[in-house]
Structure formats: structure tokens, C-alpha cells
Amino acid sequence: MIKVENAFIEFDKDESDSFPEIFELNIVSGGCHLYGYLLTPDKRTKGPHPTVIMSHGFPGYTTNNDLELALMRMGCVVIHMNHRGAWGSEGNYLFTNLKEDLIAIAKWAHNSAIADQYNIDVNTIFLVGHSMGGQTVLNAAKDLPFIKGVAALAAYDIGAAFRYKMEKDLFLMIETEGQCLKMNSASDVYENALNNQQELSVLNRYEELVKRNVLLVEALYDNIAPPDKMLRPLYEKLKEDGGDVQFRTIVSNHSFIGQRMKLTNIVGEWIASKANE
């Protein structure tokens, strides 16, 4: 059982045979090795544990390590992987690779041998993504019927970027922030977005998501992924069609940098409510 109240509380004393643990991971997607880590809760927190798979944004400068550690303290296994071409993972970065990577990671976690090894509850696996990672988790949910729920935080929507004539901003983001990524060129990554904008658009996923547990969190003053263009249209479609969707607003910017504890509580409470159903 997840205990949201433990998000910012640790056990008074460590016991050597009960330590939380971190494991280095190496998962193959599209023939490339993805590198990351897995967190397991203190063993005094009984399993099997709900599991959260995190998907990072573009290019991944804004980390969610604080959220990951809080979810671990609540009683979750947490998986953090770097997408192809990002932060040491093999291959080239392309937007169309993101969904494929996440599907490979989720299927790895759902494997019975892996679940037994890390005490994963295969019936309560959640996808959580920020920014471009929000787009990724919404897109991947369609192909992962065993996922319990999907949470998108300040989700970027490539389809909306082209609909609202924000393509220059997208290219500039790729060209400048993407310098830390492995890619053939910024133009190559931009062309990948241009040619696949409909497939990547989160708004085009609403028919699949209406049957899923969904949490959408907007940053009110987000000037990178403006929520009125990139997140609220999806929420309105899901709500209109009777989807199980929660929509929360945080008065902050794209990274939620000044409201991280509020973000943690929102995500933790939603996961607890769905995991304990």
C-alpha cells in the first residue's frame, strides 16, 4: 500500500538489511542499449510494490529525481531510463523513438521474472512523464494495456506546436537545448517531428485514453508547453467523452521549480488512489 504521507518522511533509523536500493539498468530498445536506474523502497515497506516508470523531457536537463525519491519513500518501485541518444544511452535521438523506448521499458518491467526480482506488482504499473515525456507516456499507453494509469505533467504536444505555428520555437529548442543529445543534426530531428506530427499529437490519442486512468497537470505560467494549446484540449475531449481523467493546475512555470512538493503530493495521491482501488 502506498503511503502518501511518507513522501517527505524517512525511517528514523536505517537497518542494514532493510535499506532502499538503487540498481543500474541496461534495457535494449530498437537494438540500442538504454541506461538508467531502478529504485526500490525500504524493505520494511511490504511488497509487491506499485511501480512508476518515468519518462524525461527534452533533452532532460529538468530532472524529476525529487519526485522519484518521494515516490520510493511512499512505497513505489521507480524506474528512470534515458531515451535513445540521451545522457549516454545508445542510438540517435528522434521523437518517434521515444514511444518505442518506453514500450520496451514497460514490457521489461511487466515480465514475471523481472517483477519477481524487484518485487514489482505487475497490476499497478504507472507511466509518469514531464514535458516531452508527458507526450511520450500519453502516446505509449495505447500499446500497453496492462498499464494501471498514465500521468502527464506540463506535457508538450508536437502536433499542437505545428497547429499553432510554434515550429520556429521547436527548431530553436532542438538546435540549442539538444546539443547534449546524440543526433545526426537538429534538422534531422526537426524533420522527424514535422513528418510525424499527427502520430505524435497527444490530442489524437484521446480515443484510447478515454478508457484509461489519466492525470493531467498543467503549469499555469508555462510558456514552453502552453497548457491552453497543449494539455487542456486533450482534457476537454476526455471529459466530454466520460473519461476517468483528473486535471490539476499548479501556479508555476514549465518545470514546476517552485512547487515541487505540491506536484509530488498531486502525483502521489493520484497513484495511491488508483493503486489501492
pLDDT of residue 22: 97
Whether 7 maps to a domain, the answer reads no
pLDDT, tens only, 222-257? 999 999 999 999 999 999 999 899 999 999 999 999
pLDDT of residue 14: 82
pLDDT, tens only, 102-129? 999 999 999 999 999 999 999 999 999 9
Whether 196 maps to a domain, the answer reads yes
Structural domain range at position 175 = 16-275
CA–CA separation, 54 vs 65, rounded Å? 10
Distances (CA, A) of 90 to 81, 161, 182, 202: 12, 28, 8, 26
Q: What is the DSSP letter of 83?
A: P
Whether 241 maps to a domain, the answer reads yes
Q: Which three cell numbers stand for residue 251?
A: 501556479
CA 186 to chain centre: 24
pLDDT of residue 109: 98
CA–CA separation, 91 vs 100, rounded Å? 13
Q: Which three cell numbers stand for residue 125?
A: 504499473
Whether 9 maps to a domain, the answer reads no
Mean pLDDT along residues 273-277: 89
pLDDT of residue 76: 98
Whether 191 maps to a domain, the answer reads yes
| Torsion over CA: 142, 143, 146, 149 (sign) | negative
pLDDT, tens only, 126-176? 999 999 999 999 999 999 999 999 999 999 999 999 999 999 999 999 999
pLDDT of residue 127: 98
pTM of the entire predicted model = 0.96
List the CATH number of the domain containing 140.
3.40.50.1820
Our count of domains for the chain comes to: 1
Distances (CA, A) of 209 to 10, 71, 98, 234, 241: 35, 24, 18, 10, 10
Q: Are 122 and 53 in contact (CB under 8 A)?
A: no
pLDDT of residue 63: 85
